[in-house]
Each structure stands twice: as C-alpha cells, then as structure tokens.
Structure 1
Amino acid sequence: MSTVIEQPVEARLVAAAPRMPSIPATLGYDLGDPFAVRMTFPAPATLRGEAVCWTFARELLAAGLRGAEGQGDVRVRPYGYDRTVLEFHACEGVAVVHVRSGELRRFLRATRALVPEGLEHARLDLDHDLTELLRDAY
C-alpha cells in the first residue's frame, strides 16, 4: 500500500497575480505527516515563478467544507452548492482559489482510508523524532 496520496485538482484563481483563470494544483497527503495535507501550485501560477506548496491541517480542510474555518495563513469555507474557497495569505498578498467540493471530499476519503481521523497519532514515531531532535544537542 502506498504511503502517499496525490490528487490533481482544478483550482479557479479568484484574486492574485499573475492572473490565471485556472490552475492545475495538486493535493497531497503523506503518512510521514499524518495530520497535514499539502496543496501545491505550479510555477506559472506564482509571483516568483517557482512552484509553491502550502501545508495545513487535514482537519482544517475537512471542517472548511462545512463552514468557514481558519484564522491564519490558510482559510477554507464553502461557496455555493459545490465549490470551496481556499485563501492563502502571504506577505506578497492573498491568493483566493475555488475548488470543486467533490474533488476535496474524494481526496479526504482517500486520506481517511489510509489514516482514519482520530488515529493520526498512531502513525507518529515520537521516539525517533525526539532522538533526531536531540541528536545534536549533546
């Protein structure tokens, strides 16, 4: 069984520069970071001309399908019948994209099949992570 899920999605850019009506973004989930999801935007869609990856809580994405969520750099909320708005706040400005809610639900179902909600902690290797963190402390 794969430990990584990647799903292409079509994101409709609402406000940002450079202006692009549609962006082929990618959603990602990795067992190595079971609480998080990633949304990666290709280089042509960014101000610097480099691919940009935003990492945020899987729980934020799921909750944002039902109602407005988020107070920091990433905010998610439903929009209309089958769209979800994702806002990405950075020093350079705010990118607002619409994604089909059905695509987000399908992605979340795939992540839950890999790691059910509430069991993310069982995938963490805290002893290994602590050893790595403290390795150079001595």
Structure 2
Amino acid sequence: MPHTAVEQTVRARLILSAHCSSELFVTLRYRAVDPLAVRMLFPAAYSLDEPLEPCEGAEVVWVFARRLLAQGLELPTGLGDVRIRPSRGAYTLVELRAPEGVALLRFEAADLHRFLWHSHRLVPAGQEGRHLDPDRALAELLG
C-alpha cells in the first residue's frame, strides 16, 4: 500500500521572552487526502483551553497551507494567524496568533526542510489538484 501521509516529530523552542524559552516537541503531519495543508500538533499541556480533568486535554492542532511553510523558510510570509520567517542561524520562526494570545516558536530550518521534502515526494508541488476530492472535503466540512 502506498504511503498516504508524512509525520515527523521535531524539537522546537517556545520563545517566552528575549532571555527565556521552553523546549517542546511538535508533530508535523501532511496527508495526501488534504494536499494543500500541513498540520502542527502540540502537546495538550500547551493548550490555553481549560482541561476537563487535571492533566487531561486534547492536543493543539494548527492547520495551514503547505506553500506558506515552504515560502516562510526563504522569506517572511503570512498575514493572518500563521506567520513564518527565516531567523538568524539555521532557524525558522513560526508565529501563531489566536484570540488568547500569540505564540512564537523557533524550529531548526533543516527539520522543516526535511518534512517538506518528504511531503513533496508524496505529492509534488503543483500537483495537489490531482489529489483533491471535493466530495470528501465537503463531507468533512459538514461533519
């Protein structure tokens, strides 16, 4: 059976201030059935939602365009909730904006390049339309 998804866990730094950051692991996910999007999954501990029980909660998932991630590795990009830009050294910064606040994360650019390389092997850039299933997408939206 051919691969239909790419998943990679990478290390990131949550920038808390100019002199303080916290390490966390983020899972990057790409699925051929949703060829335009990538997902970043964060541990439940980083959710701003109130858990139902102590130490319980759902992982935090951000979904945005694969193209945005690819462009952000080369130059600042994004105008909305997700903004990505190269940083000094071999790093890439990802800024996530929500009504509750802003999170700034620093990733090793090589990890993001590797993830994109694998996603492009699964669905080459420019060929995403061949993998789109409008009926399936509509069914997911209507839930």
Query: Which structure 2 segments of 5+ residues have no match?
Result: 50-56
2:118 paired with 1:110: yes
Give the Cα separation in 1 of the matches to 2:115 and 2:137.
Answer: 31
2:82 paired with 1:74: yes
Q: 2:102 — aligned with what?
A: 94
Query: Which structure 1 segments of 5+ residues have no match?
Result: none
Give the Cα separation in 1 of the matches to 2:61 and 2:12.
Answer: 14
Query: 5 Å matches for 1:15-34?
Result: 15=16, 21-34=22-35
Deviations 1:79-117 (A, max 9, x none): 012100000000000000000000000000000000000
TM-score by length of 1: 0.87
- Provide the identity percentage: 43
- Please tell me whether the aligned partners of residues 42 and 59 of structure 2 are also in contact (alpha carbons under 8 angstroms): yes
Q: 1:125 to 1:99 in 2, by over 3 A?
A: same
Give the Cα separation in 1 of the matches to 2:4 and 2:137.
Answer: 22
Give the Cα separation in 2 of the matches to 1:25 and 1:131.
Answer: 28
Q: 1:119 to 1:15 in 2, by over 3 A?
A: same
TM-score by length of 2: 0.84
Deviations 1:2-24 (A, max 9, x none): 211110011100039xx861111
How many residues were matched structurally? 131
2:41 paired with 1:40: yes
2:15 paired with 1:14: yes
